[in-house]
Amino acid sequence: MERTLHSSSGQNGNDRMPVLFVGHGSPMYAIEQNEFTQSWQKLGKTIPKPKAIICISAHWETNGTMVTALPKPPIIHDFGGFPRELYTIEYPADGNLSLAHDIQKSTRSALIGLDDKWGYDHGCWCVIRHMYPNADIPVIQLSLDYNKPAQYHYELAKELVDYRNNGVLIIGSGNLVHNLRAIAWDKANNPEYGFDWALQANEIFKKLIIDDNHKALINYSTLGKEVMMAVPSPDHFLPLLYSLALKDSDDSITFFNDKAVMGSLSMTSVKIG
């Protein structure tokens, strides 16, 4: 079920793209058809076709902030123990060297490095291959500097606004609630199963997003024990801040895939604009 809330009025450019935060969930979703992947497919058909994609994935953490700078980034199968079929998947989207260099040169709040080794990790390609199965849109990834606090990531994201306004789709890929140690494996086939603390944390996050209370989300560690259980490490939460930082006063907020799975994960996703 989708819910849309509108902010105050403003002006949008013709090339302005929405911004997404996507709960990416299991790598298996790359080859499965379910309600989550169907939502990703619908997005690819309903939002304007972007000129390029910048993806901030939970699965690329680095010492310093990096951007992929390869003409043909490889797929990274950064997981283990899954069916062989998953390891044969390819997603041959081009990179975008000019976009990578432009981000490096134009960013003021951080020193951006160019990375010529990282490709597309599963937080990126598992989602994008459903949105754009023809792999006909250039994609680059921006890493998460694990040394920096949440405020750093939020301020860095604000510098990406010109790309959003000029036809680039920016996607944060993580999960609002992501505690792998607490997963209820026996509930894998039980749709919408969430522990009480996970559901409570998810609702706290959603209310703060609706209220544009980004300060509280940046300081999520002060939000109580439920939130700390939901975010035992920042990697899957920080991509949300990259998306929220790009919200403008005239943007709408739409929640989709708003369900818990396996007790301690939520697939809740956000479309901005």
pLDDT at 7 over 60: no
> For residue 235, what pLDDT is reported?
97
The domains of the chain, with CATH numbers, are 3-272 (3.40.830.10)
> For residue 113, what pLDDT is reported?
98
> For residue 28, what pLDDT is reported?
87
> For residue 3, what pLDDT is reported?
39
> For residue 8, what pLDDT is reported?
32
> For residue 67, what pLDDT is reported?
98
Task: Evaluate whether 253 touches 18 at the Cβ level (below 8 Å).
Answer: no
Of the candidate ranges 5-9, 50-54, 63-67, the one whose mean pLDDT is the lowest: 5-9
Q: Which residue has the tokens 């990375």?
A: 115
> For residue 70, what pLDDT is reported?
96
How far apart are alpha carbons 171 and 270 in whole angstroms?
10
> For residue 264, what pLDDT is reported?
97
Q: pLDDT tier at 19 (50, 70, 90 boundaries)? A: very high
Q: What is the pLDDT of residues 136-158, one digit of tens each?
A: 999 999 999 999 999 999 999 99
Q: pLDDT tier at 11 (50, 70, 90 boundaries)? A: very low
Q: What is the pLDDT of residues 23-62, one digit of tens each?
A: 998 888 888 899 999 999 999 999 999 999 999 999 999 9
> For residue 9, what pLDDT is reported?
30
CA distances from 48 to 14, 120, 195, 236 (A): 10, 22, 37, 26
Task: Evaluate whether 202 touches 52 at the Cβ level (below 8 Å).
Answer: no
Q: What is the pLDDT of residues 165-206, one digit of tens each?
A: 999 999 999 999 999 999 999 988 777 899 999 999 999 999
Q: What is the pLDDT of residues 68-122, one digit of tens each?
A: 999 999 999 988 778 888 899 999 999 999 999 999 999 999 999 999 999 999 9
> For residue 27, what pLDDT is reported?
87
pLDDT at 5 over 70: no
Cβ-in-10-Å burial (0-12, 13-18, 19+) of 249 comes to exposed
pLDDT at 244 over 80: yes
SS (H, E, C) the chain: CCEEEECCCCCCCCCCCCEEEEECCCHHHHCCCCHHHHHHHHHHHHCCCCCEEEEEECCCEECCEEEECCCCCCECCCCCCCCHHHHCCCCCCCCCHHHHHHHHHHCCCCCEEEECCCCECHHHHHHHHHHCCCCCCCEEEECEECCCCHHHHHHHHHCCHHHHCCCEEEEEEECCCECHHHCCHHHCCCCCCECHHHHHHHHHHHHHHHCCCHHHHHCHHHCCHHHHHHCCCCCCCHHHHHHHCCCCCCCEEEEECCCEECECEECCEEEEC
pLDDT at 10 over 80: no
